[in-house]
């Protein structure tokens, strides 16, 4: 058995809009995902998060379920429009009370709460004012962060500002397959910068209200980008996608500057004049941890003459690309089996990612804040769900984490995505990532075989040689 370090956090993760429901209760107003999901044609089957898996009313049972599984940590997001409905002004105490109760229940069961302040649910009023492409959204986010920090800072010690800002910027404002559904590459780049700025301002705001013991970080979804061949044009395609997927965030976050090649590559889209003096310094805040979300690598090449076909970048290919100034880059599947998301399974990419960030951010602890897979889960005649494919997936990726640790990566915890089957964004309820099956008609929770397997791993603190 491969042992993990003492104190390693064995967790699961969720997002507010995907699980809470209760979208019009206790003062909550619409987020961009409420609006988007209610727009015909945007989400599979017209699904919405109006009810989701009703966590807002079932949270005590869900915490008990986590405890029964032996989890030692739970990463959840706070719904911005539940706390600050217009994105401005004072907090709604009823909204904060929900999170206060959730945190207290977690602590009572010995489960460490890990808060993510933003998992894509921008208040619709802020989108009406321009959304993330507008600078003011960064300041509003910092104000909101301080409100939540003041409310929960006496009991929560681990804080993440943003989850996957790449998706917020480039899927929300570039390809339009995520809320708010805009398709403007220049707006996507502005959004990326203002998300970065919002992170930096929120870090400062949180440090002004949280106890000194609190840890503050961010969860990114970096792409492990590989060239299809060693040809110079394919290597350059890799460099360009690495800039758009990764260094647009790690540049200012870790080094205090945007990479020059990114600015040059996208000069035909924008002149980057929205970056003002002092912005990159404000973004370049000390980080107490970096969260990394990993599912599958990206394989790219220069597009060949006459090449046509779907864009295999894993991001719900639509009419518009999420990659500004990179229409001549082609994406390919990595070798290996595919999940129900049509994503290749490649655990080695997770080891590569963890070692890369160990080198990029020396001395900064790492967490795997999301990792998991969707499969075609079904109830059998006995009312159980057997998911051996997911068990193999998790075993392979936990082995990859262990490999990174043995090579010097300071990985402090792993958060399985996800605790529960839920609203999977533009895929609606057609994709199941949960370790726990949810019957959407009855809201019954049924732990899958993978939940039982993961529970054994969490309780033992070690990974068996075979899955």
Residue with tokens 């993961």: 454
Residue ranges of the alpha helices (H) in 276-324?
A: 279-283
Please give the radius of gyration of the chain, using alpha carbons only, rounded to the nearest integer.
21
Report CA-CA distances (Å) from 29 to 34, 198, 365. Answer: 9, 22, 36
Cβ distance 246 to 192 under 8 Å? Answer: no
d(CA 117, CA 140): 12
Catalytic residue, chosen from 134, 164, 352, 424, is: 164
Distance CA 338, CA 357 (A): 26
Question: Which of the 8 DSSP states describes residue 335?
Answer: S
424 is catalytic: no
**Burial (0-12, 13-18, 19+ Cβ within 10 Å), 386:** middle
> C-alpha angle with apex 37: 33 to 39, nearest 5 degrees?
120
Q: Which of 134, 352, 370, 424 is catalytic?
A: 370
20 is annotated as an active-site residue: no
Q: How far apart are CA 157 and CA 176, in angstroms?
A: 35
E-strand ranges in 221-313 read: 225-227, 289-293, 298-302
Tokens representing residue 426 in the block: 């533009």
Judged by DSSP in three states, 194 sits in helix
Question: Which residues are marked as active site?
Answer: 164, 370
């Amino acid at each position: 058995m491969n042992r993990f370090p003492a104190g390693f956090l064995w967790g699961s993760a969720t997002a507010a809009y995907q699980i809470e429901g209760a979208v019009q209760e206790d003062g909550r107003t619409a987020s961009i995902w409420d609006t988007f999901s209610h727009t015909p044609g945007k989400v599979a089957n017209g699904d919405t998060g109006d009810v989701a898996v009703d966590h807002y009313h079932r949270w005590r049972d869900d915490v008990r379920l986590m405890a029964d599984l032996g989890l030692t940590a739970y990463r959840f997001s706070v719904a911005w429009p539940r706390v600050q409905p217009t994105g401005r002004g004072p907090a709604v105490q009823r909204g904060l009370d929900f999170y206060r109760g959730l945190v207290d229940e977690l602590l009572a069961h010995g489960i460490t709460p890990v808060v993510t302040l933003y998992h894509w649910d921008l208040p619709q009023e802020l989108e009406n004012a321009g959304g993330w492409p507008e600078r003011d959204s960064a300041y509003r986010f910092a104000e909101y962060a301080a409100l939540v920090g003041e409310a929960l800072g006496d009991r929560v010690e681990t804080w993440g500002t943003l989850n996957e800002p790449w998706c917020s910027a480039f899927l929300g404002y570039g390809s339009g397959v995520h809320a708010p559904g805009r398709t403007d590459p220049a707006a996507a780049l502005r959004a990326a910068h203002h998300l970065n700025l919002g992170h930096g301002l929120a870090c400062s705001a949180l440090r002004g209200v949280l106890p000194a013991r609190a840890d503050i970080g961010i969860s990114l979804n970096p792409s492990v980008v590989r060239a299809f061949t060693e040809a110079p044009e394919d290597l350059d395609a890799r460099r360009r996608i690495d800039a758009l997927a990764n260094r647009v965030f790690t540049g200012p976050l870790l080094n205090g500057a945007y990479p020059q090649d990114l600015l040059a590559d996208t000069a035909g889209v924008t002149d980057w004049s929205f970056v003002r003096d002092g912005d990159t310094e404000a973004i370049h805040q000390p980080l107490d941890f970096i969260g990394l979300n990993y599912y599958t690598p990206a394989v790219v090449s220069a597009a060949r003459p006459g090449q046509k076909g779907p864009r295999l970048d894993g991001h719900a290919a639509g009419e518009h690309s999420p990659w500004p100034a990179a229409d001549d880059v082609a994406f390919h599947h990595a070798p290996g089996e595919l999940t129900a998301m049509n994503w290749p399974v490649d655990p080695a990419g997770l080891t590569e990612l963890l070692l890369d960030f160990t080198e990029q951010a020396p001395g900064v602890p790492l967490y795997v804040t999301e990792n998991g897979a969707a499969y075609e889960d079904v109830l059998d005649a006995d009312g159980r769900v057997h998911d051996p494919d997911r068990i193999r997936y998790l075993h392979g990726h936990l082995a990859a984490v262990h490999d990174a640790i043995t090579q010097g990566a300071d990985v402090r915890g792993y958060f399985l995505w996800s605790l529960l089957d839920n609203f999977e964004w533009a895929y609606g309820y057609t994709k199941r990532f949960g370790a726990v099956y949810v019957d959407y008609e009855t809201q019954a929770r049924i732990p899958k075989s993978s939940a039982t397997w993961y529970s054994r791993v969490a309780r033992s603190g070690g990974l068996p040689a075979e899955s």
